[in-house]
Amino acid sequence: MFKKAGLAVAALFVLASTAVGQAGNRFDVALGFEGVFPKQTSANGIVLSPTNSGGFLGTFRWRFAEKHSIEINYARTNDSQIYKTPNTFRIQSNVTEWTGAYVFSPMETKKFESFVFGGAGILVFNPFSTFVNTVQVPVPSTRQTEFAVLYGVGVDYRVFSSVPGLRKAALAPHLALRIQYRGLFYKVPNFNNPNLFTGSRGHLAEAAAGLVIKF
């Protein structure tokens, strides 16, 4: 995953180079990393404790008015869904996010642009290893897709235009550091295994930071 992220960052710089000299600030592309912190849920005598993890986040945003934008997000992380039933089932999986959101930017200065957003999409849970009481065994589990509601808040900081040695570069005004909090509500997965079904609603809290190119 990190190798792919490195290639994506390289692609971002290529895009940034082509954007220099363009005006309008109507589009931006952001690539970064996030910490993913899911909450514990319980129902039907089952306690589900997903593990914390790190992931990759990519965003494309289109500004259609001064304070209004829409964005498309792709994110991916690997974690473990741990079910206590009283046996302990551990299903390692990758989690892929595809979401869209409306973005409102209430304030913008020369250095900062704050924003809030809300939207929806899907989370895809794809299992690849399964354990029962720490022993790897085949547990019936298949890929599962769940509807998700997205919300969050963040800020773009044009820090690069203040860095000595970089601020005079043609690329600097187009770059920003994006810091944001993201939250996702969703129905927790059971990987289509009725013995692991809780029917609970889960929540992912995400702290994300990345590089943005505006053009």
pTM above 0.75, yes or no: yes
In tens, the pLDDT along 61-117 reads 999 999 999 999 999 999 999 999 999 999 999 999 999 999 999 998 989 999 999
Tens of pLDDT, residues 18-41: 444 444 578 999 999 999 999 999
Q: Which residue has the higher pLDDT, 205 or 175?
A: 205
Q: What is the pLDDT of residue 21?
A: 43
Distance CA 67, CA 154 (A): 14
- Domains of the chain are 2-214 (2.40.160.20)
Q: Which parts of the chain are beta strand (E)?
A: 27-38, 41-43, 46-50, 53-65, 68-84, 88-108, 112-132, 135-136, 144-157, 175-187, 201-214
* H helix intervals, the chain: 2-19
Residue from 100, 113, 206 nearest 154 by CA: 113
At 134-186, the pLDDT tens digits run: 999 999 999 999 999 999 999 999 887 766 656 666 677 788 999 999 999 99
User: How distant, in Å, are the alpha carbons of 6, 9, 56, 95, 165 from that of 3?
Assistant: 5, 10, 11, 18, 28
